[in-house]
Structure 1
């Protein structure tokens, strides 16, 4: 059993002893700590916290524990039930709530669940705020409400409101999508995407939808992370139907993978690139992605005469940088699209609507759009170390050794060579250094990654 406490939330496996996973007693402790944090740092007059969940098997159990605990802490709860992560984020602002909790372990397997914690803006807590929640949880310094001040529970459905918010975006061209008469295939991995994605597509004017795994029962038919090796079923569907495009989402619908009409992968790194291409074409401006994301976004941004900036890995770091640079589009290379005109959170619904608008505007096949972008390949490797090795010292030496190149150290060490890059980050949970590298071919990416890994191994001796 596993319990991982981090600034981005608390995730763990279901079952086992207290402290070994995300079980009812552990859940009560961390939710109480979050409620205490909200109470101590109140930035709004609201006494409401929104709770939403994906379709995991443990979701209903977790929902009842979380809502009951929040009420016991004196907060009113708006339970929006089965809802995507971006739906819950939007619900916080629409309810003018003090915060929100999303019950989802994102792309992790079915035995996992998590508490993702939001502020009053429907955005993830930052590092300092997350640390404060964990500190309160450690102290168990909770004050529960007296009987006359127990919170109230209400239930609402925000799915249609989220869809309408997407339709209202200026760059979402519903008429063009309707006129294009697209046939779309979807894989929603038997979670909340199975509820919202078909409804979204129909609202966008897509009448021909080929559905795969759209029953929200939490029984994931394949590894729920939308990576190429897990998406063979929809690839076959693309080849056996006349679908123009395929969309795959993870269990909480904040990541989007695109499948070409011929069944080939568009590439998760290129979801953001394609959406940014469309956004920049109509509203030029700055862009942001994290240090481990493809250089293709930088290239596309510069094509429009705009400025690209990189942020440390983590959604909250990306959104912070986007605000600082007034970026019009940003996100992460894992298929996470963040469009400030909607909200500061990864949103696959927004990604789908903007991509279909792009596809209708370009009047090309999906594979042709993909071929129009700079060709890059990312290799993901790691170096295992002993716990006694000083990882920070190794990274510092690497930075000095390659100082003749453009080196960024806001999150590990990233070395930008003229035609490739390598990003080294230490894991927060195990003694390893993650090594991501990108080049114009996979062979080059793997070779430059291996070259830097050899340097790390030498320094570790």
Structure 2
């Protein structure tokens, strides 16, 4: 299996595609890129060494990779601030707060435990753009690495205060009211899949005013009890626990805590797509402005934006792409339909922690206005669509072959509006299908949405058949 390289980072299976050799090469390339980027930003940056913030999730390989990468960065002439176990959004916030020149997160996010990755941030704590990734790859390919002399090696410093700072920043937002949340006396299930959120998510809940927590997979072992992607097919055990627990709702995050999923009191999923919809609906009541999602996201966000009288834009999949469009259109809030909420007021990054705060406050306010009510009732106030999500292995398909495949499929549906910005999106009158190569796995993702689950699944099946018919994929 080859490395997956995109705006979502450098990721692979440890010991197969992700090896000490390429970890060293990409860490060296990143240190060199950071140095060049710093010099381009500030020609008078002086003799101080570039500073890079690093953090990792709880995977068993994370500590060793962080040690290797941290030392490579130091030997490349960079000071390193090591947060230890930290969520992706916490590293993003810390990179900006520490006025660092870059950040690096050791996490493969929702991928299985055998995977790991390097997610690379610029000095603003944001993912590298496609252009910046190309610059990094050119440095790696040319092996044009900067190496420090013996007296120019950087220092490694441990820092563990940014979890509290992250929570403090969220609680300082004037529309978050822990006292009103506490009055609801919520009982909440929290599932952190043994990832980086194991301590910070429960602590955030407590400080939001939720005192009665039922915790599962919150020991931080890094041994995921299930496939860590927080989608319905992986959540049977959590849903069963939710039904037994008597909780008002459940909070689920992925291993690096940039995705938020929710379970209603009856065990039904609130829907990853609707995490962003609910948060946007709440926030647009506070601050009007454009919203942005990606092409694989539900039409429910556009419907919600329309109800608030603001535009909704769709970007290519990938946090860097969404944040770039958010800046371009001056968006108030945005994110991705996989449960990733981006609130520029806090920072430009998908952040399940700020998503939890927005969501719990929104539900609290609704219950107060309606003198009680359940989460499933709260969910019913939003536009109702059903999605199907499938995937099919890429095999040996090249980008050129994929381009031809998508063009051929588009020709089969003249009644649909075809968008080729990111793979192929076909917009029909009452449904859509999005086919695209994944940024994180060697697969084609097939997302569909329709008025009912049966229609969405039927459309997804049809798209998989079209892909199979046009390729050698079995």
Q: TM-score, normalised by structure 1?
A: 0.93
Task: Tell whether 2:241 aligns with 1:237.
Answer: yes
* Partner in structure 1 of residue 253 of structure 2: 249
Task: Tell whether 2:139 aligns with 1:136.
Answer: yes
Q: In 2 relative to 1, CA 159–395 (structure 1 residues): closer, same or farther, beyond 3 Å?
A: same
Task: Tell whether 2:375 aligns with 1:372.
Answer: no
* Partner in structure 1 of residue 3 of structure 2: 3
* Partner in structure 1 of residue 459 of structure 2: 448
SS in 2 for 1:34: helix
Matched residues in 2 for 1:397 and 1:216: separation? 47
Give the superposition deviation at 1:349.
0.5
* Partner in structure 2 of residue 145 of structure 1: 148
Task: Tell whether 2:448 aligns with 1:437.
Answer: yes
Say whether the 8 Å CA contact 1:5–1:134 is kept in structure 2: no
SS in 2 for 1:193: coil
Describe the superposition over 1:2-50 as per-residue Cα deviations: whole angstroms up to 9, x where unpaired.
53333431112222xxxx3322222111100011111122135472100
Task: Tell whether 2:215 aligns with 1:215.
Answer: no
Task: Tell whether 2:309 aligns with 1:308.
Answer: no
Matched residues in 1 for 2:450 and 2:67: separation? 48
Matched residues in 1 for 2:332 and 2:441: separation? 36
Of residues 389, 407, 412, the one that matches 2:418 is 407
Matched residues in 1 for 2:82 and 2:442: separation? 39
Of residues 427, 430, 445, the one that matches 1:416 is 427
Give the superposition deviation at 1:385.
7.6
**Structure 2 residues without counterparts, runs of 5 or longer:** 368-372
Give the superposition deviation at 1:298.
0.7
Give the superposition deviation at 1:373.
1.5
Task: Tell whether 2:37 aligns with 1:41.
Answer: yes
Matched residues in 1 for 2:60 and 2:462: separation? 44
* Partner in structure 2 of residue 278 of structure 1: 282
* Partner in structure 2 of residue 362 of structure 1: 366
Say whether the 8 Å CA contact 2:4–2:439 is kept in structure 1: no
Structure 1 stretch 421-430 or stretch 82-91: which is displaced more? 421-430
* Partner in structure 2 of residue 352 of structure 1: 356
Matched residues in 2 for 1:279 and 1:427: separation? 30
Give the superposition deviation at 1:221.
1.3
Query: How many residue pairs align between the two structures?
Result: 457
SS in 2 for 1:424: strand
* Partner in structure 1 of residue 19 of structure 2: 23
Say whether the 8 Å CA contact 2:4–2:441 is kept in structure 1: no
5 Å-filtered alignment, 1:20-99, equals 20-42=16-38, 43=41, 45=45, 47-99=50-102
Give the superposition deviation at 1:165.
0.8
Say whether the 8 Å CA contact 2:266–2:376 is kept in structure 1: yes
Q: In 2 relative to 1, CA 453–107 (structure 1 residues): closer, same or farther, beyond 3 Å?
A: closer
Matched residues in 2 for 1:312 and 1:107: separation? 19
Q: TM-score, normalised by structure 2?
A: 0.91
SS in 2 for 1:390: helix
Matched residues in 1 for 2:288 and 2:123: separation? 29
